[in-house]
C-alpha cells in the first residue's frame, strides 16, 4: 500500500500524457453534443470518486449528476431510461458483474457510456462507447490507493477539457509536482492520536466529501477503526450528539467556498472537547496536519487523499494490522 500510493505522482503524470488525445477527442464530442444529465455508477473507492465527479460536473459544467444504484438493474431487473445521458462507470478492475450489466443497459437505453478503468481489456471497457484508461499500473494491495487518485485525476482531466477552464488545465499540469510534495507530509500526530481509538468522524464538504468518504473506508478496512464520513453540512443533523470529550475528528478543509463551514464545524467540535485534526492546503501548524498549497481547489482532494494514505498505512502497522491484506477482503469484489 505504501509503495503503490507513493507512485501516484508518476502515474498521474503518465496518465495526463497518455490520455491527452483521448480526452481531447471526447471533450470535443461532449461540447458538440452535450448530454441532458450525467449518471455515475461505481462501488467502493470508485464510488467515492463518483462523489467527486458529481461535485466536479455540477460546479464546473452545471449538469445535474446522479449516482445510479447498481442493484436496480442487476437485482431488480429494472431498465432505466437514460436517453441522451452521459453514463460514467468507474472501476479499477472493470470486472464487477453488476457494473457491467448497468453499463450494458445504459448503452441500450440511449446513453453514451464512458468507462474509467485500469485494465483496458476488462469487460467493462468492451461495453463502453469510450474508455479513459486510469493507467495506474499494477496494484497488488487490496486497499486501492493510486487507482483512486488516478480516477480523480482522469475526471479532472476530462472536465478541464470539456469546460475549457484554462486555470484548471494549468493546474492539471502542476498536479504531479504537487503530489510529490504532498507525499512528504508528516501526519504522525494523527497516527499517534488514533493508535488506541475506537471511533472517528471524518468530515469534508463539496469536492472534499469524496476524500472524507475514502478516508473513512480505508480506516475501517486497513486499521480496524470504526470511522464514518459526513458532510460538514450534515453532521449537525444527529451525528453531533455522540461527539464529546476526546472524541476524534479528522476534518478535510477545502480551499474554496465550502471551507469556512468545515472550519466552523471543527470549532464546534472542539468546544465539546473533541480531539480535532485539520488538513488545510498551505497550512501545517498546531493542530493542522501539513498539506502543501494546491494548484486549484478542484485538485485539493487528490492531495488530501494522498497525504492520508501515507498516514493510514502507518496507522495500520501501529495498530497491528497488515495494510496490504485486510481481513475478509479480496481485490476484486464481484457483486452480482
pLDDT of residue 239: 82
Residue whose C-alpha cell is 504531479: 176
Q: In what order do the strands lie in the sheet with 130-133?
A: 65-67, 37-41, 85-91, 112-117, 130-133
Q: What angle do CA 4, 7, 9 make, to 5 degrees?
A: 145
* pTM exceeds 0.85 for this model: yes
d(CA 232, CA 318) in angstroms, rounded, equals 29
Q: CATH 3.40.50.10490 spans which residues of the chain?
A: 2-176, 184-318
d(CA 329, CA 336) in angstroms, rounded, equals 16
Question: Helix, strand, or coil here: 225?
Answer: coil
Torsion of CA 52, 27, 4, 191, to 10 degrees: -20
Reference 283, options 297, 293, 271, 274; nearest CA is 293
- The CATH-assigned architecture of domain 184-318 is 3-Layer(aba) Sandwich (3.40)
pLDDT of residue 240: 79
Q: Is 29 exposed, middle or buried (0-12, 13-18, 19+ CB in 10 A)?
A: middle
Each residue's pLDDT, cut to its tens digit, for the chain (336 residues) gives 999 999 999 999 999 999 999 999 999 999 999 999 999 999 999 999 999 999 999 999 999 999 998 888 888 888 889 999 999 999 999 998 999 999 999 999 999 999 999 999 999 999 999 999 999 998 888 889 999 999 999 999 999 999 999 999 999 999 999 999 999 999 999 999 999 999 999 999 999 999 999 999 999 999 999 999 999 989 888 887 788 899 999 999 999 999 999 999 999 999 999 999 999 999 877 679 999 999 999 999 999 999 999 999 999 999 999 999 887 666 555 555
Reference 203, options 136, 139, 270; nearest CA is 270
d(CA 85, CA 322) in angstroms, rounded, equals 42
Is 168:298 a contact under the CB 8 Å cutoff? Answer: yes
Give me the CATH topology for the region 2-176: Rossmann fold (3.40.50)
d(CA 195, CA 159) in angstroms, rounded, equals 39
Number of neighbouring beta carbons within 10 Å of residue 234: 14
CA dihedral over 10, 12, 16, 22, signed as positive or negative:
positive
pLDDT of residue 105: 94
Reference 68, options 45, 95, 43; nearest CA is 43
Number of neighbouring beta carbons within 10 Å of residue 198: 10
Amino acid at each position: 500500500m505504501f509503495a503503490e500510493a507513493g507512485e501516484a505522482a508518476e502515474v498521474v503524470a503518465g496518465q495526463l500524457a497518455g490520455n491527452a488525445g483521448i480526452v481531447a477527442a471526447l471533450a470535443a464530442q461532449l461540447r458538440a453534443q452535450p448530454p441532458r444529465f450525467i449518471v455515475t455508477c461505481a462501488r467502493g473507492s470508485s464510488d467515492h470518486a463518483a462523489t467527486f465527479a458529481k461535485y466536479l460536473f455540477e460546479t464546473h459544467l452545471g449538469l445535474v449528476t446522479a449516482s445510479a444504484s447498481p442493484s436496480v438493474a442487476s437485482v431488480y431487473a429494472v431498465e432505466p431510461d437514460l436517453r441522451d445521458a452521459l453514463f460514467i462507470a468507474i472501476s479499477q478492475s472493470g470486472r464487477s458483474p453488476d457494473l457491467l450489466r448497468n453499463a450494458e443497459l445504459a448503452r441500450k437505453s440511449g446513453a453514451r457510456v464512458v468507462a474509467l478503468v485500469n485494465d483496458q481489456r476488462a469487460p467493462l471497457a468492451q461495453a463502453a462507447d469510450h474508455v479513459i484508461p486510469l493507467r495506474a499500473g499494477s496494484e497488488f494491495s487490496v486497499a486501492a490507493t493510486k487507482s483512486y487518485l488516478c480516477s480523480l485525476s482522469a475526471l479532472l482531466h476530462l472536465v478541464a477539457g470539456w469546460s475549457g477552464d484554462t486555470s484548471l488545465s494549468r493546474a492539471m499540469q502542476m498536479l504531479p509536482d504537487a503530489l510529490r510534495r504532498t507525499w512528504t507530509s508528516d501526519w504522525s500526530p494523527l497516527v499517534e492520536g488514533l493508535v488506541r481509538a475506537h471511533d472517528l468522524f471524518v468530515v469534508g464538504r463539496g469536492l472534499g466529501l469524496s476524500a472524507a468518504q475514502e478516508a473513512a473506508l480505508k480506516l475501517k478496512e486497513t486499521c480496524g477503526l470504526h470511522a464514518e464520513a459526513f458532510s460538514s453540512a450534515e453532521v449537525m443533523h444527529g451525528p453531533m450528539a455522540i461527539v464529546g470529550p476526546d472524541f476524534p475528528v479528522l476534518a478535510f478543509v477545502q480551499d474554496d467556498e465550502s471551507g469556512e463551514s468545515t472550519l466552523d464545524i471543527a470549532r464546534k467540535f472542539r468546544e465539546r472537547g473533541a480531539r480535532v485534526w485539520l488538513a488545510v492546503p498551505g497550512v501545517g501548524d498546531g493542530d493542522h496536519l501539513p498539506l502543501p498549497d494546491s494548484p486549484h481547489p478542484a485538485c485539493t482532494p487528490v492531495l488530501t487523499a494522498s497525504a492520508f494514505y501515507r498516514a493510514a498505512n502507518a496507522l495500520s502497522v501501529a495498530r497491528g494490522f497488515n495494510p496490504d491484506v485486510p481481513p475478509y477482503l479480496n481485490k476484486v469484489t464481484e457483486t452480482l
